[in-house]
Amino acid sequence: MLIWLDGLLRHRGARLLATAAGIGTAVALLATLGAFLSRAQQSMTARAVATVGVDWQVHLDTNADPKTVLDLVRAEPGVHTALPVAYVRVPALAATIRGSVSTTGAAVVVGLPDGYRDRFPGQIRDLGGGPGDGKGVLLAQQTAANLRAVPGTVITVQRPGLTPAEVTVTGVVDLPHADTMFAGTTPGTAVAPPDNVLLLPDTTFAEMFTPLRAVRADLFTDEVHARTDRRLPADPGRAYTATGGAARHLDADLAGAGHTTDNLGAALDAARADAAYATALFLFLATPGAVLAGLLTTVIVATASRRRQREQALLRTRGATTRQVLTFAAVESAACGVLGAGLGVAVAAALGAAVFGNPGTPLWSAAAAVAGVVVAAATVLLPAWRSLRADSVAAVRAGADHDRLPLVLRLGGDVAALAAAFLVLRATSAAGYQLVLAPEGAPRIAVDYWAFAGPALLWVGAALLLWRLVELALRFGRVPLTRLLRGPAGPLAGTAAAGLRRRRRAVATAVTLIALAVGFAVAAAGFTATYRQQAEVDARLTNGADVTVTAADAGSDSSGDLAGAIAGTPGVRHVETIQHRFAYVGADLQDLYAVRPATVTAGAHLADGWFTGGTAAALMQRLDRQPDGVLVSAETVVDFQLQPGDRITLRVTDARTGAATPVDFHFLGVVNEFPTAPTDSFLVVNETYLTAKAGAGPGTHLVDTAGGDPAAVAAALRTRLGPGPAVTDITTSRALVGSSLTAVDLGGLTRIELGFALAIAAAAAGLVLAVDMAERRRTFSVAAALGARRRHLAGFVAGEAAVIVGPAVLAGVALGVGQALVLVATLNGVFDPPPDRLAVPWGYLAVVIGSGVAAAAATVAAVVARTRRPDLTLLREP
């Protein structure tokens, strides 16, 4: 065995290294992407937990004893802190500024215990006040804008049936978690967070509202806010199960005294769905690359199969037993497997440290290394075992070849695989299909792994079909092939064509492998480019524009001054103003957006894919021609069974009187997405018509920075506009919005994936040719010995390479584009919103094709250089 291994290293070292390199590529890809998946899940859990201000909100039922409930919550296992919070709904707040009285509509006053802000630091954010303020009387930002109040302003609180009370504002604050903080203040109804909020210390709250509670207890809501110790599993699914079970345990202990809103579980519920999509991404992106690396290794080994069979036959004729021959093959397999696994793990550790800041996890590294050893056994040991069982020594020495197509092609495997892929893809891309089904509150997530069959069958069917077509072309195309090679190979054209025809199975395999490698690179690039494109669209939808300015009093006379001040800020190219209000459709409260149809399409960068029934420009033109038209979200169309032209009466608060006003509209079309709009139910109407019917409402200014730095423009706007208007920029939103899957380091994953795809494509084009031509040195030496000119010999080699690489690249690009479309359709749930079209990374594709061609050219140059001095010792080989 030592003699055999020494001979392999000295005489077949290049082949062993090539085999180990293929195995190492598969190991490195699996280990790196596996480590990414593990860290991505940890990151998703951490980010989901970080976004929660209050883990549990315990809503006290009528007649429940607050102290008993508080003690019960504090005694619950895993609860870190718990504090009581009281809410009361009052008719209005008022303030007198320079003799002018400003009054709000209905408001909510909150009583907070001492230490609340320290225990729940994310709930309240200071905007205005002196150093150390924020623990006294606090006014929400929008309420302060409505009342034009600042720290030191005296606020009058209306108390039904009692005399008004007065408090002095000590600070202006923002409430980042208002949606959850006020979710239970109006029991049994689903409403938006209150526009007007006043926060009081619990002692001040008790003094002001204890008399009111005695006569109007229906206006009060009591809660216990709790924060857990957050010692959760790293996996979002397991963390969701843990926190959900704890919350249900608390509900059981409350025994009718209250019920729990699990905010932490709700955040983890979304994260676990994203973790399932991350797993799907891993399977879709990592599996083809690992399989392709394994195939590359197999082809490298198979290229020398005839030589290997002759070596085994020689051993058997000299007395070696089957066991000894298999032992020699096992030694070679182990050497390739161990070397490839070690190389792959080392590369994965280096890439992980450079890209993710972490060399990876031992579990994934070990699993990938085992996979590498298995690949080595499958590519080296298994073929040797099959040859020993199926081929006789005489047949091997005679060099018998099989002229028939492989059994899978004779049975029509390529057509069957493509037909099955079509059926699966048709089912998985149908309307309403979800790869990951995560019903809200359900303990388990269902992942339809059957969807993976579609892309897999497409890969298999396309590969088999390409192999069949290349084999047929070489079998029956000797004459046109000779003419094609006449230019570069000259008198050797016939010899080259005959050689390609004789080796058509090996050539078909090489073409197919190179095409699959190029297709893998194109598919990965197309999918990741589309993902980045849609992540940007998601951020723009959430933020509204490059920079968004929102002022609570935009319906006042100062609205025009605000728009002018924004437009005059350096870096601002265009300002598009929309009104954001609320309207009732029946009993359903929805967001209402009033726009200027003539300018909003370009000003807000509306995409055609956001609308159904027409392009964005066409629907906005219809809304301009028919001012009483309304665009309705798809959910509302289904809920209310709307048909085009139906009359819809919306109840909108009149900005001039404060009263609910019915306004008639007519249904024009469907809008699926809109800047700053929620993802479910909302309406888009004509601003001029709505203002005439219900006055001017709060406005949102969408700012186009013409490709400039949004963060810098946002900073300039904050300086110019002061603390009143809220200014957000897309740079910040890009890091915060979208799914938690978007929030993880997908950029690192993209670099890893595309880097491996590029390496595999280049290796397939160069290494396969190199190994194949190295095995055919005898043919080139014979031609050189017979007097072939150097120019014709170079053309001979280059012509063969062109016949292999040219069709492979073209087929690979076509396959990659098709596979990218399939990936985007199958992983549709990753995208929010779904893309209009596939993004094409032309630069990367040019690099992939250029690298493949360059690798092939380098191989040709090396082979040509070695044929200048023919190795006459090769002429003695059979």
Q: State residue 90's pLDDT score.
A: 93
Quick one: how far is CA 174 from the chain centroid?
31
Q: State residue 204's pLDDT score.
A: 93
Q: What is the pLDDT of residues 613-639, one digit of tens each?
A: 888 899 999 999 999 999 998 888 888
Indicate the pLDDT class of residue 724, thresholds 50, 70 and 90.
Answer: low
Least confident of 11-15, 285-289, 576-580, 820-824: 11-15
Mean pLDDT of 267-289: 76
- Reply yes or no on whether the pLDDT at 739 is more than 50: no
| DSSP-derived pairing of the beta strands 699-704 and 436-437 | unpaired
The per-residue DSSP string of 773-798 comes to HHHTHHHHHHHHHTT--HHHHHHHHH
- Reply yes or no on whether the pLDDT at 84 is more than 90: yes
Choice between 706 and 153, residue whose per-residue pLDDT is larger: 153
Sequence-ordered list of residues with C-beta below 8 angstroms from that of 58, at least 6 positions apart, any chain: 69, 73, 223, 224, 225, 226, 250, 254, 258, 259, 260, 261
Q: State residue 444's pLDDT score.
A: 58
The candidate with the shortest Cα–Cα distance to 813, out of 770, 836, 842, 837, is 842
Q: State residue 622's pLDDT score.
A: 92
The per-residue DSSP string of 79-105 comes to EEEEEEEEEEEES-EEEEETTEEEE-S
Mean pLDDT of 322-332: 79
Identity at 556, one-letter amino acid code: S
Three-point CA angle 359, 362, 363, nearest 5°? 130
CA distance readout (Å), 257 to 61, 139, 215, 625: 5, 31, 22, 57
Instruction: Give the H/E segment covering residue 657.
Output: none
- Reply yes or no on whether the pLDDT at 337 is more than 70: yes
Percent of the chain whose pLDDT exceeds 70: 82
Mean pLDDT of 783-796: 70
CA distance readout (Å), 659 to 10, 330, 696, 875: 92, 86, 14, 101
Output the CA torsion sign for 363, 368, 373, 375.
Answer: positive
* Cα separation, 811 vs 815, whole angstroms: 6
Indicate the pLDDT class of residue 738, thresholds 50, 70 and 90.
Answer: very low
Mean pLDDT of 283-301: 75
Quick one: how far is CA 618 from the chain centroid?
31
132: helix, strand or coil? coil
Q: State residue 190's pLDDT score.
A: 44
* Cα separation, 593 vs 586, whole angstroms: 18
- Reply yes or no on whether the pLDDT at 136 is more than 50: yes
Mean pLDDT of 757-767: 75
* Cα separation, 755 vs 775, whole angstroms: 29
- Reply yes or no on whether the pLDDT at 517 is more than 50: yes
Q: State residue 188's pLDDT score.
A: 44
Encode 9-35 in three state secondary structure. HHHCHHHHHHHHHHHHHHHHHHHHHHH
Q: State residue 180's pLDDT score.
A: 83
677: which 2 tokens? 């709009």
Quick one: how far is CA 688 from the chain centroid?
39
Percent of the chain whose pLDDT exceeds 90: 17
Q: Where are the domains of the chain?
A: 1-51+277-400, 56-229, 415-542+744-878, 547-707
Mean pLDDT of 776-801: 70
Quick one: how far is CA 145 from the chain centroid?
38
Indicate the pLDDT class of residue 205, thresholds 50, 70 and 90.
Answer: very high
- Reply yes or no on whether the pLDDT at 365 is more than 70: yes
Q: State residue 877's pLDDT score.
A: 52
Indicate the pLDDT class of residue 554, thresholds 50, 70 and 90.
Answer: very low
Q: State residue 555's pLDDT score.
A: 44
Q: State residue 27's pLDDT score.
A: 86
Indicate the pLDDT class of residue 304, thresholds 50, 70 and 90.
Answer: low
Beta strands in 387-493 (DSSP E): 436-437, 446-447
Mean pLDDT of 249-264: 88
68: which 2 tokens? 């008993």
Least confident of 294-308, 393-407, 701-715: 393-407
The candidate with the shortest Cα–Cα distance to 680, out of 730, 638, 620, is 638
For the whole prediction, is pTM greater than 0.75?
Answer: no
Indicate the pLDDT class of residue 779, thresholds 50, 70 and 90.
Answer: low
* Cα separation, 612 vs 619, whole angstroms: 9
The candidate with the shortest Cα–Cα distance to 312, out of 393, 383, 378, is 393
Give the residue ranges of DSSP H helices in 608-709: 616-625, 634-640, 687-694
Mean pLDDT of the chain: 80
Mean pLDDT of 23-28: 83
The candidate with the shortest Cα–Cα distance to 32, out of 340, 350, 277, is 350
- Reply yes or no on whether the pLDDT at 226 is more than 90: yes
DSSP category for residue 379: I
Beta strands in 678-812 (DSSP E): 682-686, 699-704, 726-729
Indicate the pLDDT class of residue 434, thresholds 50, 70 and 90.
Answer: low
Q: What are phi and psi of 100, to 5 degrees?
A: -105, 130
* Cα separation, 340 vs 24, whole angstroms: 4
Q: State residue 167's pLDDT score.
A: 93
Q: State residue 431's pLDDT score.
A: 57
CA distance readout (Å), 449 to 85, 290, 321, 458: 46, 19, 46, 16
- Reply yes or no on whether the pLDDT at 277 is more than 90: no
- Reply yes or no on whether the pLDDT at 64 is more than 90: no
> Cβ distance 546 to 732 under 8 Å?
no
Q: What is the pLDDT of residues 446-490, one digit of tens each?
A: 566 677 788 888 889 999 999 999 999 988 888 888 888 887 777
Q: What is the pLDDT of residues 145-173, one digit of tens each?
A: 778 888 889 999 999 989 999 999 998 88
Q: State residue 445's pLDDT score.
A: 58
Q: State residue 419's pLDDT score.
A: 93
Sequence-ordered list of residues with C-beta below 8 angstroms from that of 161, at least 6 positions apart, any chain: 212, 215, 216
> Cβ distance 485 to 443 under 8 Å?
no
Q: State residue 266's pLDDT score.
A: 85
* Cα separation, 608 vs 534, whole angstroms: 14
> Cβ distance 428 to 454 under 8 Å?
yes
* Cα separation, 3 vs 643, whole angstroms: 84
Mean pLDDT of 854-872: 72
